[in-house]
Structure 1
Amino acid sequence: MVLLAEYLSINSVDLSEYTRKAEVAVEVEEKDVTTYKSLGWKEVVGGLASGTLACEFLQDTAATKLDSIMWPLLRQVVPFEVRADQAAVGPSNPAYKGNILINGWSPLTGSVGDEATVSQDFPTSGAVTRATT
């Protein structure tokens, strides 16, 4: 599978035209429940789940463009959706959805001659779901 047309929406705004990378990662805490009856083997169960939406954008500070969309969202919990393709959601193109906290924004990064990019990781707030319809 090669990602050619990934879809990213934050706060119900399609940001695909600015997006170079969108990665959703979820994990579950490992809780140690080992007892003497475990006979020397560690036993674990799942605890709290959490996730991250890691993004890389090509920056655009023009009016109504990326920076003007993201800057006002600081400190807010907003919805997101990521799909491998911009086509409709389906069994071969699931949508990963949830809410993220906009806990930071780096409006100006890069070196001389580089494209202006923004790399930001947003923590999820609440459940991340996988939808196929």
Structure 2
Amino acid sequence: MSVMVLFNAFVEINAVNMSGWGKQGALAMEAAALDASVFGDGWVKNVAGMKSGTLSVDFLDDFAASQLDSLLWPLFGTVVAFKVRPDAGAISTSNPQYSGSILLNQHNVGGSLGELAAKSLSLPLSGAVTRATA
């Protein structure tokens, strides 16, 4: 079994590489479990329903022109493309790329006194996600 430490993850939103501001990221996907049990079943039978997911990213904020805040703000309320990889290197079987669309339904500004300014976004998927290994 091999393990990987995330040092150089890749996050692209709306065709802009935002990895340089990223501090944490996760792409979580799930399929709804629908109960297909009928009379006489001794156990619940589940079938997969609609799929959904969320791209969660924590960014260190930057308010300068052409930086993170000014890139994300115009996208607020829109659906845009995303790509993520465990490493910024080439796409491969050991470094798959997941891509799809997200709804930027959040935008936040702020933080605590004496702390780094940051954005923590949890963005819902909009449509299917694909996984590429080449």
TM-score, with length taken from structure 2 = 0.96
Q: Distance in 1 between matches of 2:27 and 2:97?
A: 11
What are the Cα deviations for residues 99-125 of structure 1, in whole angstroms up to 9, with x where unaligned?
00000100x221111000100100000
CA RMSD of aligned residues (A): 0.7
Segments of 4+ in structure 1 off by > 3 A?
none
Query: 1:131 — aligned with what?
Result: 132
Deviations 1:6-47 (A, max 9, x none): 000000000000000110000000000101142x21111000
Query: Pick from 13, 22, 28: which aligns with 1:10?
Result: 13
Give the unaligned 5+ runs of structure 2.
none
SS at match of 2:128: coil
Aligned residues: 131
Identity of aligned residues (%): 44
The secondary structure found in structure 2 opposite 1:52 is strand
Equivalent in the alignment of 2:120: 119
1:44, 1:84 → 2: CA distance? 31
Match of 1:67 in 2: 69
